[in-house]
Amino acid sequence: MERFPSDQTPLPRNMIENSMFEEEPDVVDLAKEPCLHPLEPDEAEYEPRSSRLLVRGLGEHEMDDDEEDYESSAKLLGMSFMNRSSGLRSNMSVYRQNPNGSCSVLSIRTVVVCIAVFAIVISLILAIYLLPTCTFTKEGCHKKNHTMELIYPLATNGKLFPWAKIRLPSDVVPLHYDLVLQPNLTTLKFSGSVKIVVNIIQVTWKIILHSSGLNITNVTITSARGHEPKRVEFLEYPLHDQIAVMAPEALLVGQNYTVNIEYSSNLSDTYYGFYKISYKDENSTQRWFAATQFEPLAARSAFPCFDEPAFKATFLIKIRRDEKLSTLSNMPKKATTPVTDGIVQDEFIVSLKMSTYLVAFVVADLKNISRETNDSLVSVYAIPQHLNQVEYALNTAVKLLEFYQKYFLITYPLQKLDLVAIPDFQSGAMENWGLITFRETTLLFDNNTSSARDKKLITAVIAHELAHQWFGNLVTMEWWNDLWLNEGFATFMEYFAMEEVFPELHSDEDFLNLIFKAMMKDSLNSSHPVSSAVQSSEQIQEMFDAVSYIKGASLLLMLKHYLSKDVFQAGIEIYLHNHKYGSAQSDDLWDSMNEITNGTLDVKKLMKTWILHKGFPLVTVVRKGKIISIQQEKFLYRVEPENWTSDASYLWHIPLTYITSSCNLTHCTNACLLDQKSAVIELPEEVEWIKFNVDMNGYYIVHYSEDWKTLIDLLKKNHTALSPKDRANLINNIFSLASLGKESLEKAFELIDYLNKENSTAPLTQALFQLSLIYSLLEKNGEQQLAERVMHRIDHLLGNKIDQQSWTDDGTLSERELRSMLLAFACTHDMRNCRTAATEMFEKWMKSNGTASLPSDVMKAVFTAGAKSSDGWEFLLKMYSSSVSEAEKSKMIEALASTDDVRKLIRLMQNSLEEEVIRAQEISHIVATVSQSLPGYLLAWDFVKENWEKLTRKFHLGSYTIQNIISCSTSQFATKAHLLEVKSFFESKSEETSQLRCVKEAIDTIQLNIQWMERNVAKLRELL
């Protein structure tokens, strides 16, 4: 899945058991405690304390192996008395000690007391263990005919629900689904039935699977021997989205059974599951559209299923629809047959084995264009009025599909590949096998209004989703802890494929800037390892972040450069071949790589130091003549020393690269592995300068100690001695070190003094990003005069560059993108004569009632200038509602959110949330833009607080949208009052909310902002 641009550790068994009985709880109190059975590391559960109930009553025949753990826990109820007694014994001075340290004989009194205590203990043990039919509760002793007490939750009907874990049991596995759905786009409801063929791995009396929000009306089980379907009881446990189908007899090992479930539900009004979308057609008539978004946990809200990625099965899908509409699913259509008047049924051919989250279907009025390549039909679909904007996507998809098949040496296995533009879609796109769904802005290219930046975005998203057809679909991560195997790989392949197929787009520069941003997140204590234990839905949703996507991808980039591209490619081929149509863990990838390295390098040992530990290393370099001393430590922003665990002893195995003044070309790159705390490199000769982390291909930051001055002088004299990526890398590293307190801001500003000679996008983008961070922090925290001095410095460095930009779409894609960025920045901050020139263009456009043509690369700058006036803002909003170009509308949104008029900002945010003119999919983008301005940053936070319940109902706790909204609305705060307010707000919500990683990240960021202001404001006054 393409995010749209912008742990619980289990206690050891003895600790679980002992901590239960520190006090003497009665049975009702114990019922409120979490599950007591020991968990595997990947099964660490999160569950609200209030959800557990102690329930009695399963007979012996209803227990399986997993339940035996509950038996031992239940027996321990008696241990509370023993622990209390043994505690007394340990606290009694049974022996009197002589001064010389030897023990004297027991006193008579002590012997009597010991015998009495021992007798009491024995009596209690006998009372508990010899009365197995007695259950102690607050009401007294209750006789039961059952043999054992089990700790299980209650189903909705008050009966015992026979499973207590979030993860499904492994005693039953699905083989095949027959799914029939009938969505009604008038009533906005749907009905369905699913037949699931399951295979029994262990004898059981129950089948546990997922269901969420479905009204189940009938459940039957049929054995493989073809007996009549038997209607059976089912139980529901909504807290875990689980149902239990209770078999009338034991389900036998190795046998197949068919579970048939009939149900109905409403089409969702969120962006998850099987959801409804309204849009206006060419005649401005409201139409309805139904689509799916199942990743990560929403297939269960469209049909009952085993909704975990490792439970792969085949799917036969049939959809009943209005004959005027069309349907799409993962596989090609097999047949269409009439059902009743005006209703037909589309049947699709049986799918390959795949995970439930990849199942997809769309019911709508769509048009398409198609082209065949390598026996697969590639089609791009959109609503009719957008059909003229799909050609670029089709050409791009065909080229990328051909590239991936050659690179992986595995043919795309389906007969068709559909790319569908969805009018309302939360993510950037979703990789459903054979039916990729996109937000319209990431698929539709309008020749008149789409900019160079838009073209790059569309290409990148298509490249990402097509890479998933192999990484994620053909081979799927076993569980969400290894999400990076899907998303890190797809992100890595996205940029690699773009470099190979579309070199003119210079996508490597974009990847570089994404890595810098990921490292900012990864340097906080609230970060997480690339591979992290997850259990609850919120934890799973939060894995869709920059660490899984960007850090995962950058680690693969680092490995590719270290192994060589041929070895890396061979390792990928083995990995895909060994695990196709199955599931994999991180170790499976490293094992595949080790098959190629054949003992020359232990890839698993190397990469485990990166994926199992959060953060990244800081490498300090000291040069003395020919001797280079290097040392590693963790790069970490520290805000509350008393809460930190020391990582001083942690070692990464770092593939270091470096170039020197003696030869700075690519083929002169030197490499070595730093797997110790420190090491020494001896050069063959003395050099003028040395630069580590060539082209930022490694995931680490470098501190050059005394050598920073040498590199600063090099940039002033001959900046082209280093590549654009190396120059951007130096800018990023020195500002990061200044924030850490390892270098001075003065030296950082000195390094960027060369920028008036810079013409490359990567270093200019990075310098502007770093200076904008400083400007925003000062401006929002009462230091407006100092902020203006920062802007003056930016003007001094980049003013001439801004003046050189033409208001056209001329030049290479890279030049056009740079122009777009510089002019948008200049108009936003009223630099030079940018706003005057842009306002003139906007007024001409407004006088033509929006019919005059605007150069697409400067459109955002023109709209931003125009939206500063009240009339301009209102006109832009009117044009937004009638525009058919999603690229144009995206630029309008950003301009509308850049106004200084507070009332208009409130209106805009509210409008998006209520979906009056602007879709809710835009809310994250709007809040992020509003947060950047001085009039808007407090408004954005107030809006989030006031509408928190609405936002989390629409977007789900932990989702990337919620992560982004929290981050953007709080990232400008730098006072203790705001820190307290943010902490208090999230603590006042649910426990799940306060424990969100993005909340902790927001708090870390505010604390760092406070620290930065305290450290640097006085220094900046002197410096500027």
Predicted pLDDT of residue 5? 52
Q: How far apart are CA 32 and CA 25, in angstroms?
A: 10
Say whether pLDDT at 25 is over 60: no
Q: Which residues contact 98 (CB under 8 A, 6 or more apart)?
A: 104
Tally the C-alpha atoms within 13 A of residue 522's C-alpha that lie toward its C-beta.
Answer: 30
Q: How far apart are CA 351 and CA 23, in angstroms?
A: 56
Q: What angle do CA 330, 333, 336 make, to 5 degrees?
A: 140
- Strands 333-340 and 343-348: what pairing? antiparallel
Q: What is the mean pLDDT of residues 279-303?
A: 94
Lowest mean pLDDT: which of 144-148, 262-266, 513-517?
Answer: 144-148
Tokens of residue 306, six digits: 């085993």
The pLDDT tens digits for 710-749 are 999 999 999 999 999 999 999 999 999 999 999 999 999 9
Predicted pLDDT of residue 122? 60
Nearest CA-CA partner of 783 in 576, 604, 974: 974
For residue 442, what is the DSSP state?
A: G
Nearest CA-CA partner of 758 in 711, 791, 817, 716: 716
Burial of 172 (0-12, 13-18, 19+ CB in 10 A): buried
User: What is each CA distance from 3 to 54, 185, 762, 959, 971, in whole angstroms?
Assistant: 41, 28, 22, 10, 20
Lowest mean pLDDT: which of 101-105, 376-380, 917-921?
Answer: 101-105
Q: Which amino acid is at 854?
A: L
Burial of 753 (0-12, 13-18, 19+ CB in 10 A): middle
Predicted pLDDT of residue 183? 97
Q: What is the mean pLDDT of residues 353-358?
A: 98
Q: How far apart are CA 944 and CA 110, in angstroms?
A: 67
Q: What is the mean pLDDT of residues 423-428?
A: 93
Using an 8 Å Cβ cutoff, are 940 and 948 in contact? no
Q: Which residues contact 819 (CB under 8 A, 6 or more apart)?
A: 805, 806, 811, 857, 858
**Dihedral (Cα; 838, 841, 846, 850), 10-degree rounding:** -110
Tokens of residue 104, six digits: 């004297």
The pLDDT tens digits for 200-248 are 999 999 999 999 999 999 999 999 777 789 999 999 999 999 999 999 9
Predicted pLDDT of residue 99? 38
Q: What is the mean pLDDT of residues 327-354?
A: 96
> Quick count: other Cβ atoms within 10 Å of Cβ 526?
17
Predicted pLDDT of residue 97? 37
The pLDDT tens digits for 426-465 are 999 999 999 999 999 999 999 999 999 999 999 999 999 9
Predicted pLDDT of residue 44? 37
- Strands 361-364 and 230-231: what pairing? unpaired
φ/ψ region of 434 (left if φ > 0, alpha if ψ in -120 to 50, else beta) reads: left
Lowest mean pLDDT: which of 14-28, 170-184, 748-762, 793-807?
Answer: 14-28
Tokens of residue 680, six digits: 């020494």
Say whether pLDDT at 91 is over 50: no
> Quick count: other Cβ atoms within 10 Å of Cβ 41?
10
Predicted pLDDT of residue 497? 97
Q: What is the mean pLDDT of residues 954-972?
A: 94
DSSP H helices, 647-783, are 708-718, 724-740, 745-751, 761-780
SS (H, E, C) 208-226: EEECCCCEEEEEEEEECCC
Say whether pLDDT at 38 is over 90: no
Arithmetic mean of pLDDT over the chain: 87
Q: How far apart are CA 597 and CA 595, in angstroms?
A: 6
Phi, psi torsion values for 368, nearest 5 degrees: -150, 165
Residues noted as catalytic: 465
Cut 0.75: pTM above it: yes
Q: What angle do CA 766, 772, 775 make, to 5 degrees?
A: 150
Q: How far apart are CA 406 and CA 983, in angstroms?
A: 52
Lowest mean pLDDT: which of 215-229, 555-569, 583-597?
Answer: 215-229
Helix (H, G, I), strand (E, B) or coil at 754: helix
Distance from chain centroid for Cα 530: 11
Q: What is the mean pLDDT of residues 285-305?
A: 96
**Dihedral (Cα; 681, 687, 689, 694), 10-degree rounding:** -50
Concatenating the DSSP letter of every residue in 576-619 gives HHHHTTEEE-HHHHHHHHHHHHTTS--HHHHHHHHHSS-SEEEE
The pLDDT tens digits for 998-1021 are 999 999 999 999 999 999 999 999
Predicted pLDDT of residue 40? 36
Predicted pLDDT of residue 668? 85
Q: What percent of the chain has pLDDT over 90?
A: 80
